[in-house]
Amino acid sequence: MTAPRKRPSTASLMLVPFWLVVLVAYVGTMLWTVQISFTASKLLPVDVYVGFDQYHRLFSSTRWLVSMQNAVIFGVLFITGALVLGFLLAVVLDQKVRFENTLRTVFLYPYAMSFIVTGLIWQWLMNPGLGIQKAVRDWGFESFSFAWAVDRDMALYALVLAGLWQASGLVMALMLAGLRGVDEEIWKASRIDGIPAWRVYLFVVVPMLRPLILTAVVLLSISVVKAFDLVVALTNGGPGISSDMPAKFVMDNLFTRQNIGLATAAATVMLITVAAVLVPWIYSEYFRKVRAGAAT
C-alpha cells in the first residue's frame, strides 16, 4: 500500500528544484518589480514608498501613451498579417509544388535571424540615401518614394513590415505541419461533394488547425510585447517618438534615465495588460476543449 503513495512524492521531490526556479526567478522577480514600482527609486532601488505616484507619472507621459497605442496597432497588424501571410504561404506549398524544400527554407530563413539583424537590414533597405528608394530612382523612376523608416507617419508600418518578413515563415512552418496532418479522406470527400478548395480551407481546415493558430498567436504576441531590439535597430523609436514601444520605454527609463520606479511601473502595466488580454482567451480555448472532450 505504501508503494503507490511513495511514487508521487519522489516525483514531486524531483520537481522541487524546478518549482524553486519558477518561484524565485519568475514569480519572485515579478513581485519585486511590482514592489519597486511603488517606491521612489531612481538609480538604485530604495524603500521609500510613494503609493501610486509612479503610475500617475506614467500615465501623464505622452510618450508612454503613444507607445501603448503603437503596441496595439503594431500588435494587431503584425499578428493578423503574419497569420494570413503564413497561412497563404503554407497553402501554396501544400499544393505539392516543385522545389518545395527550397522554398520552405527560403521562407523560414528570415526567422533564423534575430530581430536586431532584421531591423538593420530593413533600416538599410528603407534608407532614402542607400536603399530601395535610391536604387529605383537610379533606374529612372525619379518620383519613386519608399522611405518609411524616416517618415513619422509610416515608421510604425516599417516595423510591421520588417516584423512580417521575419515572422511569417515561422507561421508558415507551423501551418504547413498542420496541413500535412489533415486527413486525405477529407479532401476526397470534399472533392466528391464538389466543394471548391478555398471553402474547404476556410471552413474545414482552418477550424482543424485551431490549436496551431493558438500556438502561433501566443508566439507572435510574445514578440509584440517584447518588441525592443527590432525598434532599436530599425527606427530607435523615431522619428521623434512616432514608433516608440512600451519595452523601449521601460529600457530607457531603467538605464539611461535612471528611473527604476517609473520603469517598473511601466513593466507592471505591461504585465497586467498582457494578462488581461491573453489569459481569458487562452482559458476559454482550453476550457472549450475540456468541455468538448467531456461531451464526446
Partner 1 sequence: MKQLIATILAGSALAFAAMPASAQDKPRAEVMHWWTSGGESAAIKTFADAYEKAGGEWVDTATAGGENSRAATINRMVGGQPPTAAQFNTGRQFDDLVSQGLIRPIEALAEEGGWKKAMPTALVEAASRDGEMYALPINVHGQNWTFYSKTVLEKSGVAELPSTWEAMIPALQKIKEAGFTPLALGGQPWQERALFNAILLQQGGKDLYMRIYRDKDEEAVRSEGFAKAVETYGALRGLVDAGSPGRSWNDTTSLLLRDTAAIQVMGDWVKGEFTNAGKTPSEDYGCTIGLDDTMLMVGGDVFVFPKTEDEAQKKAQDLLVETMISKDAQAAFNLAKGSMPVRNDVDTSAFDACAKKGLELLKSEDSQAPVFEILVSASLAGAVDDVVTQFWNNPSAQPEDVVEGFVNAFEVEG
Q: Which residues bind partner 1 (CB under 8 A)?
A: 42-44, 57, 60-63, 123, 127-129, 147, 149-150, 152, 235-236, 238-242, 252-253, 255-259, 262
Residue 12 cell numbers, joined: 514531486
Pick 1 or 44: Cβ nearer partner 1: 44
38's CB contacts (< 8 A; 6+ apart) are 49, 50, 51, 52, 54
Shortest distance (Å) from residue 123 CB to partner 1: 8
Shortest distance (Å) from residue 165 CB to partner 1: 19
Q: What is the 8-class DSSP label of residue 238?
A: -
Shortest distance (Å) from residue 62 CB to partner 1: 7
Pick 43 or 218: Cβ nearer partner 1: 43
| Distance, first Cα to last Cα, the chain | 35
Pick 149 or 175: Cβ nearer partner 1: 149
The C-alpha torsion from 244 through 247 and 250 to 256, rounded to 10°, is -70
Place of cell 516608440: 244
Pick 129 or 207: Cβ nearer partner 1: 129
Helices vs strands, H then E, count in the chain: 15, 0
Pick 85 or 248: Cβ nearer partner 1: 248
Pairwise CA distance, residues 82 & 104, whole Å:
16
Pick 58 or 171: Cβ nearer partner 1: 58
Shortest distance (Å) from residue 93 CB to partner 1: 36
Q: Answer whether 171's CB lies under 8 Å from 82's CB.
A: yes
The C-alpha torsion from 181 through 174 and 108 to 245, rounded to 10°, is 170
Residue type, 132: I
Pick 79 or 162: Cβ nearer partner 1: 162
Residue 188 cell numbers, joined: 476526397
Shortest distance (Å) from residue 60 CB to partner 1: 6
Shortest distance (Å) from residue 38 CB to partner 1: 17
165's CB contacts (< 8 A; 6+ apart) are 110, 118, 122
Q: Answer whether 175's CB lies under 8 Å from 212's CB.
A: yes
Place of cell 522611405: 147
Q: Which residues pair with 49 in a beta bridge?
A: 39
Shortest distance (Å) from residue 61 CB to partner 1: 8
